[in-house]
């Protein structure tokens, strides 16, 4: 779908900026609600207080007892990048704070399912005294019950939205719980035991990733241990974990509000200064990126996918071990394995996306608003990437399904991706209410969700999803929109500005990378590989020539002679020489 170009509105006048900050960058900030320099002072001292996050006191007291009495602690992680980094933060951090017997368990996508399941609890041998979930657990009613039945205490740390029933955990830390209800029943007060839940509205940011929630728990635990006189003259420096926090936060695509930008910027500074853990350094270099000039988009597009590939196709333990090892040589061996798995994932994804596009084209006459796709040969670990690609192409919410595993074709696993204004998890809740039993399990966020259902129920679900989408999505929401920061002034596409833009972020979800749109004349072009374009563009305003590239853009036709391009102003570092370059995101003839 051809997007409609819109320029971001600037509300308010930038003020107080030093002369060294380019006026273009000031306008970019203003379009994102940042008008004064203090709003981009991403100092750790300006982080939100961990004490404001609901559920902390209960979780901390359990952890203090666990460390004091040398409990066996298992971190129950997740098989995506947020879960892997969160698990590494938990294991490293608890060991730093005095826990001696800390291990981890991560579900295998095709064996245990998602989150803290009863099967995952059963696999924990020897039996731990405490399970701490990371990036999961708010929906693990059965898993928590199974753990409690075995006498295991459970702390849930998560950031996903809750369902109607909370698990009966011993403590829950989740910024997206309106009420932190320790009894696991309805809130508040509980109709079963009249328990008054704790209001959790004092923590301003709901955007913490799972790894961020765990980092906050460790900060609060350290403060409590300090009060108890545990450390003496010196105490553990938890800032060494910020490289992991930055990676998980960016890779999970949570909104980069001010608090998350503080965390990500601190992690990026640590990485750029050469103080990242061995695994992150190895993954960066395996992805052919420079540690010294790394930016947030490199974490999202280069490092994150390498970790995610392990959870999609193999076992996320490989990714977690990469993040836990301090042996540089071992870290590089893990990174090479992860890169090889990622290449396999890319090939599999390409073939699945091509099949999905053919299916969508063949079904175009149905004009579905909520699009569902299913192919028995697809891999359940990759359907989320298929849904994302088709959502971008069709600008409609898409759910892609695959058999749960080779051995279990009676159950489908689906991964959903949505468009702005259509809350995909809430839509699944509507379907679940209208068609009880149709969806076996579901959970997620506004823009992404996961679910499972019986294979035979797929046609009925497809109809129900399209019906809800038609009901809740207005026609104008189906028009793709590409927001830009307007025209870059003549002569402004300089290396000086490109460097400021790269250093100015961190850019990411809800704090988007600057995009400009200008009219150009295409003076020449050539192919790089089979699908990438290398262009020479002339600015008709002053005759200036600009190098430009556009990836995966050649489909047998040359670019227009006169065109409007939406682009990022980036830096091309070739053989140690830096020059400005336009990275084209969209072109159209004029």
Q: Could you write out the DSSP letters of every residue in 10-65?
A: --S---S--TTS-HHHHHHHHTTT--SGGGG---GGGSPPGGGSTTHHHHHHHHHH
Burial class (CB within 10 angstroms; exposed 0-12, middle 13-18, buried 19+) of 406:
exposed
Does 195 score more than 50 pLDDT? no
Q: 546 and 494 in contact (C-beta within 8 Å)?
A: no
pLDDT of residue 11: 83
Confidence of residue 473 (pLDDT cuts 50, 70, 90): very high
Cis bond upstream, residue 404 (ω within 30)? no
- State mean pLDDT over 306-319: 94
Of the listed ranges 411-415, 440-444, 464-468, the least confidently predicted one is 440-444
CATH number, span 363-478: 3.10.310.30
pLDDT of residue 112: 82
Q: Could you write out the DSSP letters of every residue in 89-102?
A: HHHHHHHHTT-SSE
pTM as predicted: 0.92
pLDDT of residue 202: 67
The token pair at 437 is: 């039993």
Q: Of all residues in the chain, what percent carry a pLDDT higher than 70?
A: 95
Which residues partner with 519 through β-bridges? 564
pLDDT of residue 318: 96
Match domain 482-589 to its CATH number in 3.40.1080.10, 3.30.70.260, 3.30.9.90, 2.40.50.460.
2.40.50.460
pLDDT of residue 184: 47
Burial class (CB within 10 angstroms; exposed 0-12, middle 13-18, buried 19+) of 101:
middle
The residue among 378, 323, 376, 305 whose CA lies nearest residue 348 is 378
pLDDT tens-digit map of 442-452: 988 889 999 99
Q: Which residues contact 259 (CB under 8 A, 6 or more apart)?
A: 47, 48, 204, 205, 207, 208
Confidence of residue 233 (pLDDT cuts 50, 70, 90): confident
Confidence of residue 203 (pLDDT cuts 50, 70, 90): confident
The residue among 454, 458, 459 whose CA lies nearest residue 410 is 454
For all residues of the chain together, what is the average pLDDT? Answer: 93
Would you say domain 50-243 falls under CATH 3.40.50.300? no
pLDDT of residue 192: 44
Confidence of residue 362 (pLDDT cuts 50, 70, 90): confident
pLDDT tens-digit map of 271-312: 999 999 999 999 999 999 999 999 999 999 999 999 999 999
pLDDT of residue 114: 83
pLDDT tens-digit map of 51-88: 999 899 999 999 999 999 999 999 999 999 999 999 99
Q: Is 16 left (phi over 0), alpha (psi -120 to 50) or beta?
A: left
pLDDT tens-digit map of 20-58: 999 999 999 999 999 999 999 999 999 999 999 989 999
**Rounded distance, CA 421 to CA 35, Å?**
27
Find the angle CA(505)-CA(13)-CA(30) to the nearest 5 degrees.
20
- State mean pLDDT over 429-455: 93
With tokens 């020059």, the residue in question is: 579
pLDDT tens-digit map of 97-142: 999 999 999 998 777 878 999 999 999 999 999 999 999 999 999 9
Does 364 score more than 70 pLDDT? no
- State mean pLDDT over 303-326: 95
pLDDT of residue 452: 95
Residue 462 vs residues 366, 399, 413, 456: alpha-carbon distances, Å: 12, 9, 14, 11
Confidence of residue 460 (pLDDT cuts 50, 70, 90): very high
Can you give the residue ranges of every domain in the chain? 50-243, 363-478, 482-589
pLDDT tens-digit map of 215-226: 999 999 999 999
pLDDT of residue 196: 47
The token pair at 583 is: 């990275």
Q: Of all residues in the chain, what percent carry a pLDDT higher than 90?
A: 85
Does 493 score more than 80 pLDDT? yes
Is the dihedral angle over the CA atoms 81, 87, 92, 97 positive or is it negative? positive
The token pair at 361 is: 């084209």
Q: Which DSSP letter does residue 576 get? A: T
User: In CATH terms, are 50-243 and 363-478 the same topology?
Assistant: no
pLDDT tens-digit map of 139-189: 999 999 999 999 999 999 999 988 888 999 999 999 998 765 555 444 444
SS3 of residue 442 by DSSP: strand
């Amino acid at each position: 779908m051809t997007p409609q170009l819109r320029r971001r509105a600037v509300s308010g006048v930038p003020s107080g900026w030093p002369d060294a900050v380019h006026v273009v960058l000031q306008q970019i900030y203003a379009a994102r609600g940042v008008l004064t320099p203090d709003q981009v002072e991403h100092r750790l001292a300006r982080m939100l207080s961990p004490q404001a996050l609901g559920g902390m006191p209960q979780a901390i007291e359990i952890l203090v007892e666990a460390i004091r009495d040398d409990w066996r602690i298992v971190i129950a992680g997740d098989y995506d990048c947020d879960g892997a980094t969160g698990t590494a933060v938990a294991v490293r951090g608890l060991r730093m704070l005095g826990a001696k017997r800390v291990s981890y368990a991560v579900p295998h996508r095709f064996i245990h399912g998602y989150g803290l399941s009863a099967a995952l609890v059963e696999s924990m041998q020897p039996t731990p005294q405490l399970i701490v979930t990371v990036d999961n657990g708010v929906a693990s009613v059965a898993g928590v019950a199974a753990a409690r039945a075995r006498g295991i205490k459970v702390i849930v740390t998560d950031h996903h939205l809750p369902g109607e029933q909370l698990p009966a955990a011993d403590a829950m830390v989740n910024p997206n719980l309106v009420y932190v209800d320790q009894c696991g029943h309805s809130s508040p007060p509980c109709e079963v035991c009249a328990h008054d839940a704790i209001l959790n509205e004092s923590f301003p940011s709901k955007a913490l990733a799972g790894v961020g929630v765990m980092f906050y728990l460790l900060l609060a635990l350290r403060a409590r241990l300090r009060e108890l006189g545990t450390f003496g003259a010196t105490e553990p420096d938890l800032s060494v974990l910020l490289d992991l926090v930055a990676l998980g936060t960016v890779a999970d695509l949570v909104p980069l509000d001010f608090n998350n930008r503080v965390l990500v910027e601190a992690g990026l500074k640590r990485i750029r200064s050469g103080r990242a853990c061995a695994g992150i350094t190895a993954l960066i270099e395996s992805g052919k990126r420079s540690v010294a000039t790394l930016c947030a988009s490199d974490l999202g597009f280069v490092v994150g996918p390498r970790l995610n590939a392990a959870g999609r196709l193999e076992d996320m333990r490989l990714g977690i071990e990469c993040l836990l090892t301090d042996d540089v040589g071992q870290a590089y061996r893990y990174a090479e394995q992860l890169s090889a798995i990622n290449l396999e994932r890319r090939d599999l994804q390409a073939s699945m996306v091509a099949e999905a596009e053919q299916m969508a084209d063949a079904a175009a006459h149905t004009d579905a608003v909520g699009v569902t796709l299913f192919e028995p040969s697809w891999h359940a670990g990759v359907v989320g990437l298929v849904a994302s690609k088709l959502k971008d192409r069709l600008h409609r919410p898409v759910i892609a399904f695959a058999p749960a595993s080779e051995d279990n074709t009676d159950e489908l696993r689906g991964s959903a991706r949505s468009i702005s204004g259509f809350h995909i998890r809430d839509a699944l809740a509507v379907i679940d209410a209208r068609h009880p039993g149709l969806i076996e399990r579901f959970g997620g966020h506004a823009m992404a969700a996961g679910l499972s259902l019986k294979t035979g129920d797929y046609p009925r679900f497809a109809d129900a999803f399209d019906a809800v989408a038609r009901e809740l999505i207005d026609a104008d929401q189906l028009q793709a929109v590409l927001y830009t920061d307007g025209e870059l002034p003549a002569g402004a596409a300089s290396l000086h500005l490109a460097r400021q833009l790269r250093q100015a972020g961190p850019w990411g979800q809800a704090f988007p990378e600057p995009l400009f749109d200008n009219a150009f004349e295409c003076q020449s072009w050539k192919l790089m590989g089979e699908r990438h374009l290398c262009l020479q563009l002339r600015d008709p305003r002053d005759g200036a020539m600009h190098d430009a590239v556009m990836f995966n853009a050649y489909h047998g036709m040359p670019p227009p002679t006169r065109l409007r391009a939406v682009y990022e102003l980036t830096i091309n570092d070739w053989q140690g020489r830096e020059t400005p370059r336009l990275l084209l995101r969209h072109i159209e003839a004029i």
